[in-house]
Amino acid sequence: MRFFASCAKGLEYLLADELAALGCRRATAAVAGVNAEGELANAQRAVLWSRLASRVLWPLAEYDCDGDQALYDGARALPWHEHLDAGMTLAVDAHVSGGAITHARFAAQRLKDAVVDALRAHSGARPDVDVGAPDLRLNLVVRKGRAIVSVDLGGPLHRRGWRIAQGDAPLKETLAAAVLLRGGWPRLYHEGGALLDPMCGSGTLLIEGALMAADVAPGLLRYDGRAPTRWHGFDVAGWEALVDEALARERAGRAALKPVFDGSDADPAAIRAARENATAAGLRDAIRWQVRDVASLGAGDVGAAPRGLVACNPPYDARLAADPALYRSLGVALRRAVPGWRASLLCGDRELAFATGLRAKKTYAMFNGALECTLVVCDPVQPERTQAAPRELSEGARMVANRLRKTLRASRAWRERDGIDCFRAYDADIPEYAAAVDVYTEADSRARWLHVQEYAAPPEIPEAVARRRFGELLAGAADALEVPRERIAVKTRARGKGGSKYGHMAHRGEFITVREGDVRLQVNLFDYLDTGLFLDHRPLRLRLAAEARGKRFLNLFCYTGAVTVHAAVGGAAQTTSVDLSATYLEWLADNLRGNRIGGTRHRIAQADAMAWLRADRGQYDLVFCDPPTFSNSARAGDFDVQRSHVELLRLAVARLAPGGVLYFSNNFRRFRLAHDAVSAFAEVEDISAATIPPDFARNPRIHRAWRLVAR
């Protein structure tokens, strides 16, 4: 069974790992949540033990919904008497998108009406509405013409049950847990480390950190022994067993808890609130609180622990405005007091994080409500070796940097809307600086990497001039995108016999994991001509993912299998991936494992695609074919996409099941589809324009794509 755990944006991959650790068979990150597979017992354990989830939603029904009447009719048909009694109370939370239903409160009302009418017809009585503490809380999502009705198993999970006092802008406990986990807590605690928050406010980070260290389930205080819902489907006996286990762990954890927690704030009212909250959490004597300005923090104020974590959420307002001087003061104080410690600082944005003067080892994007913030993890706070001051940019490098900043500003809206982490930022926008600059963002650390490919300069340009310009481009890109030189992969072209060719390949064996839609993919920026992910095919991959549910999917010339992973995560009934390269197929296998995909439903075949098609007798509902321009492999013979595409497509179309679809694409710029020959066995639609993403709009011939259906 699949259920959904929602969370703040930026916490999805942490939550997926947490749910897997709690016993879910599979957990796949989505936007602002995780699709988890498991039994009801797994979902109930998540309600009690998840530190990161906002809500846990157990689905009751999913149906077509093209308007309010369809919403009502689909819900009215459900056997509501099996889920609640007429004497119970009810609340509905709704989230809608699209044009069918535009008002969430109206959608919630229609679902409530359906439940009430169904129960009245069954028993003659109806439930009352209680928004604050209902016996049953339902969740409704209407999106893309579908309605999903779920039971909210635990209500808002960020409420731990200990907060009785708060400051002006308290940090949600779920976000505090993420700050601590990114900083390596509580593993650092078990290694003898301490926890410090020198701007503690009402104490959220320290209280959450102490409860983590004491192995206290975050739901114990929240429900105080009660079941979190009176839904008839809830396993009360199973819940009571979970609570008994959690209570035993709590007793042992609290008895062994070491008092290594230190909180301070310049505001006496904040410290009073922190003490009240700590007492309510059963931590009155575990945390030391004091009124202290951060600037006065000294080496003697952090106890005897030689190592520890500074976890802090420096102040900023709803406009992400703050005093950079305060952030500078924080950085100075930490370098002075705890230079060898680790720091996990949730700052308003990159600029405020930069103002601390601390060098981040990893950077993450997190959302505090609707505000996108920057979490920086520094380890240690003060590295032993300091970096030399950067040289001033040349005029050419400044020109490149300014162009990149302009492009980033212009593309930010669509990248954030579509959740794009890897994209082309520059493509010879300034003709003298002829190169492509691609940005890859690590899924977990949010660190940026650059993949820079130099284009061959015209023969009349002296080699020294070309080298100087390329150096200026690298300097400008590093400055504008804030990427250190060690995270920039460079593919330069060296002149040689027969023309230009790529040279200077590295052999680092270094892979990073990036995110695209709902999947995680490995890329290698340094060792190969290509990175393992063709960025220009992004819309086509997402299109195939959306069409794959329940279908038999075939990926020919599969390369590193990014499309296969998208299809599998999208719900394909089975996948088959064919490629001649053992290296690429091993890469595909790693990508599948990285998305917790396995089993006999996902087949990998090392073979020449043409020969494999001639021998195969399977049928497929969805086929993707993206062949190379040419290949002269000894095992496959000569392949030329222009010469061979008609036979290739005929063989592939022959494997389509009735109603099946083949997507064909290639990057050969002079390619001409033999339309008449292909039309003899397939209906052909050129979809190239719809598959070019915005970051490649300046280069619309980067690839061509067609949709084929058998005649």
pLDDT for 383-396, tens place per residue?
865 444 556 889 99
- Together in a domain, 102 and 63: yes
- Together in a domain, 493 and 445: yes
- Together in a domain, 16 and 143: yes
- Together in a domain, 7 and 63: yes
Q: DSSP E strands: which ranges in 50-135?
A: 55-64, 89-96, 128-129
Number of domains in the chain: 4
- The Cα–Cα gap between 186 and 485 comes to 33
Instruction: Select from 378, 405, 423 the last residue of a domain.
Output: 378
- Together in a domain, 15 and 81: yes
- Together in a domain, 551 and 476: no
Residue 244 belongs to some domain of the structure: no
Query: Is 55 in contact with 249 (CB distance < 8 Å)?
Result: no
The structure tokens 């006996």 sit at 237
What's residue 354's pLDDT?
82
What's residue 371's pLDDT?
86
Which residues, 6 or more positions from 588, have their beta carbon under 8 angstroms from its beta carbon?
Answer: 558, 559, 560, 561, 564, 565, 577, 579, 604
Residue 481 belongs to some domain of the structure: yes
Mean pLDDT over residues 591-607, rounded?
Answer: 92
- Together in a domain, 87 and 207: no
- The Cα–Cα gap between 598 and 575 comes to 11
Residue 240 belongs to some domain of the structure: no
**CATH number of the domain within which 59 lies:** 3.30.2130.30
Query: Is 101 in contact with 53 (CB distance < 8 Å)?
Result: no
For residue 209, give its domain range: 173-214+257-378
Lowest mean pLDDT among 147-151, 305-309, 335-339, 676-680: 305-309
Q: How far is CA 604 from CA 286, 544, 577, in A?
A: 55, 18, 5
Residue 275 belongs to some domain of the structure: yes
Is the pLDDT at 192 greater than 60? The verdict is: yes
Question: What value, to the nearest 5°, has the Cα angle with vertex 674 and ends 668 and 676?
Answer: 160
- Together in a domain, 566 and 705: yes
Question: What value, to the nearest 5°, has the Cα angle with vertex 223 and ends 217 and 224?
Answer: 90
- Together in a domain, 305 and 362: yes
Which residues, 6 or more positions from 96, have their beta carbon under 8 angstroms from its beta carbon?
Answer: 102, 103, 104, 107, 141, 142, 143
pLDDT band at residue 506, thresholds of 50, 70 and 90? low
Residue 221 belongs to some domain of the structure: no
Lowest mean pLDDT among 70-79, 414-423, 505-514, 620-629: 505-514
Closest CA to 580 of 653, 530, 636: 636
Which residues, 6 or more positions from 296, have their beta carbon under 8 angstroms from its beta carbon?
Answer: 333
- Together in a domain, 544 and 583: yes
- Together in a domain, 554 and 682: yes
Is the pLDDT at 519 greater than 60? The verdict is: yes
What's residue 568's pLDDT?
96
Mean pLDDT over residues 225-240, rounded?
Answer: 95
Residue 222 belongs to some domain of the structure: no
- The Cα–Cα gap between 173 and 182 comes to 14
